[in-house]
Chain A
Amino acid sequence: MTRRRIPVPDTLADSTLADLKRRHFLRQCSTGLGAMFLGTLAHPLLGAGKTPAHGGRLDFSRPASSPLSPLAPQFTPRARRVIYVHMAGAPSNLELFDYKPELARQDGKDCPQSFLEGKSFAFISGVPKMLGPQYPFAQAGQSGAWMSDQVPHLTRHVDKMCFVRSMRTDQFNHSPAQLAVQTGSARLGHPSIGSWVTYGLGTENQNLPGFVVLKSGQNSPDAGKPLWGSGFLPSVYQGVECRSAGEPILYLRNPGDVSRDQRRAMLDVLDRMNQRTASEYGDPETLTRIAQYEMAFRMQTEAAQVLDISREPAHVLAAYGATPGDGSFASNCLIARRLVENDVRFVQLYHWGWDSHGAAAAEALNLGFKDLCRETDQPVAALLADLDQRGLLDDTLVVWGGEFGRTPMRENRGGQEMRYVGRDHNPNAFTIWMAGGGVKAGTSYGETDEMGYEVVKDPVQIRDLHATMLYLLGFDHHRLNFPFQGLDQKLTGVEHAKVVAGLVA
């Protein structure tokens, strides 16, 4: 009979585990459990009756059957709904809204070393050349803001707009930067602004989603669906993607041989089964699923009507430059107006293609960029005018922006002069603008240096922009929160965020 060999662990972790005898385990376990128990006690004992630094908890609970029912904001809001126009790919502020005459004088000269030290770029290598603004600028409106000749329609509404020229981000690649702008975090798993807003305010029209997403351009934004995901919030708050070409919402319509009554009967059976699952497992996501089926059933009639822009008179279609069913940004802008008119809380538009590196004609500042301006300038301008005429701009917040800015240096991929003109990514400075709902119209906030490379006055972090948006919607950003993983999670994260007083009318 051979004695059993004691196995020799091959890693340190294994040996630690092997050394842990049963008695040790139990002893450590009991203190561990004790500490955990005290941890659970500590909160009510120490925290009881104490108001947290930012006031008591706001109640966002709703009946499971109506997770989107409206809730009042914390204080009287300036904006009741939002249209966020995200220009995916990061449009060049230096060719649109941030006029830099000194950069024009430096055009073609070597970039100063101070611009390159300690910086990392996506593509620029060696010593690039400075690149002057590619289009002429002129002052416009009462406010005298400098506007490029690529946005002639928008220029007429310059006195409705509030420019933030001093936006900064800490991400210089598209996906994380888009996530940062849209969810407040560069990592996956956080709710988008639209999700936070529908969680906080619900929506008045229960026959439409509270948060609608419309995409245009050749591609989806780089970070994809997580941009309008609900993260750790219940999934009922995620954005619902609608289309302006073909079926407005995929899989919403009944198949040809299924009547509305049959659909109802089917949903009733499904509802009973789901209710049983819900009571058995208690997973709130089951209740979310039931609510979503019911919303889809109600949407079948109303959504189709609201999303159908062929009902608009010809002069409105012409003003936007929209053709029903073309899936264009123009159509999406018109749909956005129809949606907010029907009390949709948050409309998110994406238009892809602004990544003007200059590596191909489509992404050249002197070619593709012009097309993008032509596709988007008139519709956004028409949207502002239309909202204004309908009295909706008073309490609708419109936000336009990309995920970062672009360098004042010409991109020189691989150290070579490229065939087309382009700029690399610049997270240190970019411009966004807002209009409507409580923003200071006809103003500019913040400044960049003479080259438009760095912010020199009143920097605005993305979390500051988010805090300001939530303020306009009637929330202290600390108090629009959701407990998850032991933290009261917020759109603005844990770093200090401030409401930018200079943007609020």
Chain B
Amino acid sequence: MSRDGAEAWSVKRYLLVVLLATLAALGTVAWARPSMFTSIVVVAGLGYHRESALPDSFYSVRVAPILEEQCAGCHGPRLQRARLRLDTLGDVKLGGKNGAVVKAGHPQESELFTRLLLPKSDKRAMPAGNKPPLSPDEIKVIELWIASGASGRTAVAAIAGAPPPPPAPIVIANFDAEAVARARAPLKDALESLSARYPGAIAYLSRDSADLSVDAQRLGAAFTDANLAELAPLAAAVTRLDLSNTAVTDGATATLAAFERLETLRLNETKVGDELLSATANLRNLQSLTVIGTRVTPDRVAQLRQKGLRVHDARD
């Protein structure tokens, strides 16, 4: 009986020692290698909550793009140097084989920040290898984020003093040839016959657009008000019209008013005057008007400039 009791006691004692040893080991790991501890907790299924960031947080808008471009090549889905990933907030908080890389509120104690400041000659300097260092602005963003608590919830506006964000990268969309053809279809026949009549004068602004540019400059004095009137079927599609050096006069005022989507209008060295420019009241998109060598008066030019139009008359 006592022998059995002693046996049970020794099993109990043995289990207790094992338990204490395990806890001590876990404690040591948790103290020295927090990321490993977190991994163990996650693997054990003990409900570790992976932190995630709000899409409009300072982290998502400012920090994540920098980490993605500068760090995720070696610390991301493809490679995990030092068992560290920096492609999501959860991973950033998890740290790598050397422990946490972020100490919230303390950038000077966070390797995610301090390693960026090391000279290139230091082998712990990041980014490693031949990659150029982060820009001062990028380093500042990371510093501010850690100092503010390294959270995925802090709003962009809540962190003061951040350098202005870089402009969004330019993405050139592929155009849909069929959609362009559909947009061009209504005026196709009119354009074909008028292009044959005025070769080289009418062109699409670009391959992905149905807008037209009309340049009658090279037709010179042979191009009159009547010729401009012939282009009326296309008027609503024209955004750029150059009538310089032509014989167009104030008589074309009504015709011109129909070119209601014009953005650029050039009338250099023509006989037009203030009257023709009354048509511009109808041209709501007009941005740039050039009237060098015309009868347009300085008063009218001043008036149009007041309305916000860029008027070029080479007199200033």
Chain A interface (Cβ within 8 Å of chain B)? 51, 54-56, 58, 69-70, 72-77, 204-206, 343, 388-391, 394-395, 456-459, 471, 474, 476, 498-499, 501-502, 504
Contact residues in B for A54 (Cβ distance below 8 Å):
174
Q: Is B137 an interface residue (CB 8 A)?
A: yes
Q: Is the CB of A394 within 8 A of B170?
A: no
A502 and B167 in contact (CB under 8 A), knowing A58-B207, A74-B207, A75-B208?
yes
CA distance A375 to B108 in the complex (A): 53
The answer to whether B167 touches A75 (Cβ under 8 A) is: no
A55 touches B174 (CB 8 A): yes
Is B11 located at the chain interface by the 8 A CB criterion?
no
Given the known inter-chain contacts A390-B314, A394-B264, please indicate yes or no for A457 contacting B137, CB distance below 8 A: yes
Q: Are the C-beta atoms of A391 and B167 separated by less than 8 Å? A: no
If A74-B206, A390-B268, A457-B135 are given as contacts, then 15 extra A-B residue pairs at C-beta distance below 8 Å, sorted by A number, are: A74-B172, A74-B207, A74-B208, A77-B205, A343-B217, A389-B316, A394-B310, A456-B135, A456-B136, A476-B172, A498-B169, A499-B169, A499-B170, A501-B167, A502-B167
Judge whether A504 and B200 touch: CB under 8 Å: no
Closest to B204 in A: A72
Docked-complex contact A391 and B218, CB < 8 angstroms: no
Chain A nearest CB, measured from B283 CB (Å): 15
Q: Which residue of A70, A74, A205, A504 is within 8 Å of B175 (Cβ)? A: A74
Give the residue among A51, A394, A471 with the most B Cβ atoms within 10 A: A394
Which partner residue on chain A sits nearest B268 by CB separation? Answer: A390
Within 8 Å CB of A501, what residues of B? Answer: 166-170
Contact of B170 with A504 in the complex, beta carbons under 8 Å? yes
Q: Which residue of B lies closest to A387 (CB)?
A: B312
Alpha-carbon separation in the docked complex, A56 to B170 (Å): 19
Q: State in angstroms the CA–CA spacing of A471 and B173 once bound together.
A: 12
B266 within 8 A of A: yes
Please indicate the chain B residues that have their CB under 8 angstroms from the CB of A457 in the complex: 135-137
Q: Knowing A205-B218, A456-B135 are in contact, say whether A389-B166 is a contact too (CB < 8 A).
A: no
- Report yes or no: A390 in contact with B312, Cβ–Cβ below 8 A: yes
Q: List 19 A-B contacts (CB under 8 A).
A: A72-B203, A72-B207, A73-B206, A74-B175, A75-B206, A75-B209, A76-B208, A389-B313, A390-B268, A390-B292, A390-B312, A390-B314, A391-B288, A457-B135, A476-B172, A499-B170, A499-B172, A501-B166, A501-B170
With A73-B207, A204-B215, A204-B218 as contacts: A459 and B132 at CB distance below 8 Å: yes
- Is the beta-carbon distance between B312 and A389 smaller than 8 angstroms? yes
A389 CA to B291 CA in the complex, in Å?
A: 10
What 7 A-B pairs come out closest when comparing CB atoms? A391-B312, A391-B290, A55-B174, A501-B167, A457-B135, A476-B172, A499-B170
Q: Within the complex, what minimum Cβ distance (angstroms) separates B147 from chain A?
A: 21
Name the CB-closest residue of A to B217.
Answer: A343
Say whether B211 faces chain A, with CB atoms less than 8 Å apart. yes
Separation in Å of the A342 CB from the closest CB of chain B? 9
Q: How far is the CB of B121 from chain A (nearest CB, A)?
A: 8
- Note all chain A residues with C-beta closer than 8 A to B264: 394-395
Alpha-carbon gap, A136 to B166, bound state (A)? 31
How near does chain A come to B73, taking the closest CB pair, in angstroms? Answer: 13
Which residue on chain B has the smallest CB distance to residue A389?
A: B314
Cα A69 to Cα B170 in complex, Å, equals: 29
Q: Chain B, 96-128, contact with A by CB distance < 8 Å: what is the 0/1 string?
A: 000000000000000000000000000000000
Contact with A along B262-302 (1 / 0, CB 8 A): 00101010000000000000000000111010000000000
Return the CB mask of B162-180 against A: 1 if under 8 Å, else 0: 0000111110101101000
- Residues of B with C-beta under 8 A to A72: 203-207
Given contacts A70-B200, A457-B135, A504-B170, contact A391 B177 (CB under 8 A): no
Q: Summarize A's interface: helix, strand, loop or mixed.
A: loop
Q: Which residues of B contact A458 (CB under 8 A)?
A: 135, 166
Specify the chain B residue showing the minimal Cβ separation from A477. B172
Contact A391 B310 (CB under 8 A): yes
CB distance from B116 to the nearest CB of A (A): 13
Cβ contact within 8 Å between B266 and A76: no
Partner of B206, one of A51, A77, A204, A205: A77
Interchain CA distance A76-B166 in the complex, whole Å: 24
Residues of the A chain whose Cβ atoms lie less than 8 Å from the Cβ of B288: 391, 394
**Docked CA distance A459–B316 (Å):** 38
CA distance A77 to B264 in the complex (A): 13
Rounded to whole Å, the gap between the CB of B215 and the closest CB of chain A is 6
Query: Which residues of A sit under 8 angstroms from B177, Cβ to Cβ?
Result: 56
CB distance from B66 to the nearest CB of A (A): 13
> A320: shortest Cβ distance to chain B, in Å?
14
Inter-chain contacts of A471 with B (CB < 8 A): 170, 172
Task: Report the separation of the CA atoms of residues A58 and B207 in the bound assembly, to the nearest whole angstrom.
Answer: 9
Q: Which of B166, B203, B207, B266 contacts A70 (CB 8 A)?
A: B203
Interface centre among B170, B174, B218 (most CB of A within 10 A): B170
A343 / chain B contacts, CB cutoff of 8 Å: 215, 217-218
A394 to B287, CA, bound (A): 10
Please indicate the chain A residues that have their CB under 8 angstroms from the CB of B170 in the complex.
Answer: 471, 499, 501, 504
Query: What is the CA–CA distance of A388 and B132 in the complex, to the nearest angstrom?
Result: 39
Q: Which residues of B contact A70 (CB under 8 A)?
A: 200, 203
Nearest chain B CB to A387's CB is how many angstroms away?
A: 10
Rounded to whole angstroms, the CA-CA distance of A390 and B133 in the bound complex is 45
Min CB distance A454 to B, Å, is: 9
Give the distance in Å from the alpha carbon of A301 to the alpha carbon of B268 in the complex. Answer: 22
- Known contacts A394-B288, A501-B168; decide if A76 and B200 are in contact (CB<8 Å): no
Q: Which of B209, B211, B266 has the most CB of A within 10 A?
A: B209
Q: Are A76 and B211 in contact (CB under 8 A)?
A: yes
Across-interface contacts of B204 in A (CB, < 8 A): 72
Check B167–A76 contact: CB distance below 8 A. no
Inter-chain contacts of B310 with A (CB < 8 A): 391, 394
Structural contact, A76 and B209, CB atoms closer than 8 A: yes
- Identify the interface centre among B169, B172, B217, B266: most chain A CB within 10 Å of its CB: B172
CA distance A459 to B289 in the complex (A): 37
Distance between B280 CB and nearest chain A CB, rounded to angstroms? 15
What is the distance, in angstroms, from B216's C-beta to the closest C-beta of chain A? 12
- Kindly state the separation between the CA atoms of A77 and B211 in the bound complex, as whole angstroms: 12
| Bound: A501/B167 CA distance, A | 6
Residues of B within 8 A of A499 (CB): 169-170, 172
Once the chains are docked, how many angstroms separate the CA of A390 from the CA of B316? 10
A143 to B107, CA, bound (A): 34
- A residues less than 8 Å from B211 (CB atoms): 76
Output the least CB separation between A397 and chain B (Å).
Answer: 16
Which A residue's beta carbon lies closest to that of B215?
Answer: A204
Q: How far is the CA of A73 from the CA of B211 in the complex (A)?
A: 12
Chain A residues whose CB sits within 8 angstroms of the CB of B313 once the complex forms: 389
Instruction: Give Cα A145–Cα B177 distance, bound, in whole angstroms.
Output: 44
B290 touching A75, Cβ below 8 Å: no
- Contact pattern, B 300-316, Cβ under 8 Å of A = 1, otherwise 0: 00000000001011101
When distances are taken between beta carbons in the complex, the residues of chain B under 8 Å from A56 are 174, 177
> Contact mask B214-256 → A, CB, 8 Å, 1/0?
0101100000000000000000000000000000000000000
